[in-house]
């Protein structure tokens, strides 16, 4: 794989060329096979930041091309020996050319999506600026996803009153299948990485919560993942980011989506939180994500589900089948707490799971090892916030995290 950046006037253009052994279908770090649609993309920065450390350019490119790289990656300028070593150790991919010295930085920015998880991070760190990634169309790929209203979200971010920059990019359209999206989850940080020198960043805070970090969230299913290759500090991506002088920081990595939802809805950002990008005047209320988030919100507000989605609808189909489910911990949490769950699309799931408030109480508290892995400059702030606002899991509760997916709970 050969990658080359061209730059000018705040615009960064990335082109990549496959070597003979590379393929246009390849797995991203979570195992999902991805098919490439095209071999170029751009990132529009809000201003021209000037020189960018080669390791930042290389890492940004790597978040786009890693799935399709088989043996080696050749960047267009030398990367530090430390960064090359991180790629080789993490992926078994030869990286070069090698030269120069590593970078470092001190500050923190929040990779802010506008969803409840990143709003919870924002509530925890009220003085930390946002970098928001906005999807824009790709000139060479037809946009069959026009219902995805990234403009709505960017407008909401602008209204939060927080110091923020919005970075616009078409990089999600390098993916043909399964759909446009980040080639690697870390590509959402493209703007933060390209501005990291200008903003003096030593870390980027993401809204990945307990499920994503420790319970095999996302496309992983129902298992304890201490060595999560995407988000553990000692995983391949954690080491690559650290080598480029930007640590991955997960301030809410120890708490469930019930806690991030509670923190987000209790914060000044409440009016600006949006997890569904289908509606223009608010969440659409008819998609699977709206149904899932409504279950969590109804649970923390201790009220019946407000939805028109019934069990016979396509988006509710998976809840008619037996577990395991993706995000199962939150399904258990919701089913145990929402009054009248037996009259909703979750009735069958609730019966299968048999969860109770007691068996899901651990999801209201913070998993202590998640705080220990926050990089030192920000750790005590996160610890103090969790102690004051959330509380920590007991040893028994922490064991629920560490046996997730291996033993059945007491329910
Ligand atoms: Zn929706």
Cβ-contact 38, 140 below 8 angstroms: yes
Q: Cα(77) to centroid of ligand 1, in Å?
A: 43
Q: Cα(292) to centroid of ligand 1, in Å?
A: 10
- In angstroms, the CA 70 to CA 355 distance is 44
pTM: 0.95
Q: What is the pLDDT of residue 144?
A: 73
Q: Cα(332) to centroid of ligand 1, in Å?
A: 21
Q: Which has the closest alpha carbon to 227: 213, 243, 241, 246? A: 213
CB count within 10 Å of CB 399 equals 13
Strands 164-169, 175-177: pairing kind: unpaired
Q: Cα(314) to centroid of ligand 1, in Å?
A: 13
Q: What is the pLDDT of residue 75?
A: 98
Cβ-contact 367, 382 below 8 angstroms: no
- In angstroms, the CA 105 to CA 201 distance is 5
Write out the residues surrounding ion ligand 1, Cβ under 5 A: 276, 278, 283-284, 287, 290
- Residue 26, CA distances (Å) to 36, 63, 68, 131, 207 in order: 9, 13, 5, 29, 26
Residue whose token pair is 């003979």 = 20
Q: Cα(22) to centroid of ligand 1, in Å?
A: 37
Each residue's pLDDT, cut to its tens digit, for the chain (411 residues) gives 999 999 988 999 999 999 999 999 999 999 999 999 999 999 999 999 989 999 999 999 999 999 999 999 999 999 999 999 999 999 999 999 999 999 999 999 999 999 999 999 999 999 999 999 999 999 988 877 667 778 888 888 888 889 999 999 999 999 999 999 999 999 999 999 999 999 999 999 999 999 999 998 656 567 899 999 999 999 999 999 999 999 999 999 999 999 999 999 999 999 888 888 786 677 888 999 999 999 999 999 999 999 999 999 999 999 999 998 888 999 999 999 999 999 999 999 999 999 999 999 999 999 999 999 999 999 999 999 999 999 999 999 999 999 998 765 444
> Rounded to 5 degrees, what are φ and ψ at 2?
-120, 130
Q: Cα(246) to centroid of ligand 1, in Å?
A: 33
Instruction: Locate 372 and state its tokens.
Output: 């220990």
Q: What is the pLDDT of residue 278?
A: 81
Q: Cα(131) to centroid of ligand 1, in Å?
A: 24
Residues in CB range of 159: below 8 A, 6 or more apart: 272
Q: Cα(275) to centroid of ligand 1, in Å?
A: 8
Q: What is the pLDDT of residue 405?
A: 84
Q: Which has the closest alpha carbon to 240: 389, 372, 61? A: 61
Q: Cα(367) to centroid of ligand 1, in Å?
A: 30
- In angstroms, the CA 369 to CA 167 distance is 33
- Residue 140, CA distances (Å) to 18, 44, 51, 152, 184 in order: 18, 16, 28, 24, 21
Q: Cα(283) to centroid of ligand 1, in Å?
A: 5
Residue whose token pair is 């050969």 = 2
- In angstroms, the CA 164 to CA 160 distance is 9
Cα 397 versus chain centre, distance: 25
Q: What is the pLDDT of residue 136?
A: 93
Q: What is the pLDDT of residue 124?
A: 97
Instruction: Locate 237 and state its tokens.
Output: 């991506």
The 3-state DSSP class for residue 130 equals strand
Instruction: Locate 355 and state its tokens.
Output: 């969860």
Q: Cα(111) to centroid of ligand 1, in Å?
A: 22
- Residue 270, CA distances (Å) to 73, 151, 156, 178, 404 in order: 43, 19, 11, 32, 31
Q: Cα(252) to centroid of ligand 1, in Å?
A: 24
CB count within 10 Å of CB 334 equals 30
Q: What is the pLDDT of residue 338?
A: 98
Q: What is the pLDDT of residue 323?
A: 92
């Amino acid at each position: 794989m050969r990658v080359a950046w061209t730059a000018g006037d705040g615009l960064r253009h990335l082109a990549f060329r496959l070597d003979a052994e590379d393929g246009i279908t390849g797995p991203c770090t979570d195992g999902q096979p991805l098919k490439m649609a095209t071999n170029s993309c751009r990132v529009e920065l809000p201003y021209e930041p000037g020189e960018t450390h080669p390791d930042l350019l290389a890492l940004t490119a790597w978040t786009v091309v890693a799935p399709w790289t088989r043996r080696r990656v050749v960047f267009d300028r030398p990367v530090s020996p430390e960064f090359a070593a991180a790629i080789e150790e993490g992926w078994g991919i030869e990286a070069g050319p090698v030269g120069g010295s590593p970078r470092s930085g001190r500050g923190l920015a929040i990779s802010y999506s506008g969803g409840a998880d990143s709003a919870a991070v924002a509530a925890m760190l009220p003085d930390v600026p946002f970098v928001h990634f906005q999807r824009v169309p790709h000139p060479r790929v037809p946009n069959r996803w026009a219902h995805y209203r990234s403009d709505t979200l960017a407008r909401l971010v602008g209204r939060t009153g927080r110091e923020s920059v919005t970075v616009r990019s078409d990089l999600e359209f390098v993916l043909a299948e399964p759909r446009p999206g980040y080639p690697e989850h870390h590509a959402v940080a493209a703007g933060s990485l390209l501005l990291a020198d200008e903003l003096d960043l030593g870390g980027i805070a993401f809204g990945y919560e307990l499920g994503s970090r420790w319970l095999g969230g996302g496309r992983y299913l129902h298992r304890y993942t201490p060595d999560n290759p995407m988000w553990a500090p000692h995983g391949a991506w954690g080491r690559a980011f650290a080598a480029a002088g930007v640590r991955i920081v997960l301030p809410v990595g120890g708490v469930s989506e019930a806690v991030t939802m509670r923190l987000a809805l209790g914060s000044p950002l409440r009016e600006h939180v949006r997890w569904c990008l289908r509606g223009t005047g608010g969440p659409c209320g008819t998609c699977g994500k709206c149904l899932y988030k409504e279950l969590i919100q109804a649970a923390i507000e201790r009220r019946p589900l407000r939805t028109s989605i019934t069990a016979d609808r396509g988006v509710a189909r998976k809840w008619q089948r037996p577990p395991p489910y993706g995000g199962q911990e939150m399904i258990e949490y919701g089913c145990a707490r929402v009054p009248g769950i037996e009259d909703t699309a979750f009735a069958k799931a609730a019966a299968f799971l048999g969860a109770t408030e007691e068996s899901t109480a651990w999801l209201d508290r913070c998993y202590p090892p998640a705080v220990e892995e926050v990089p030192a400059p920000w750790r005590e702030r996160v610890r103090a916030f969790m102690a004051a606002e959330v509380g920590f899991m007991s040893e028994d509760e922490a064991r629920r995290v560490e046996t997730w997916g291996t033993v059945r709970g007491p329910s």
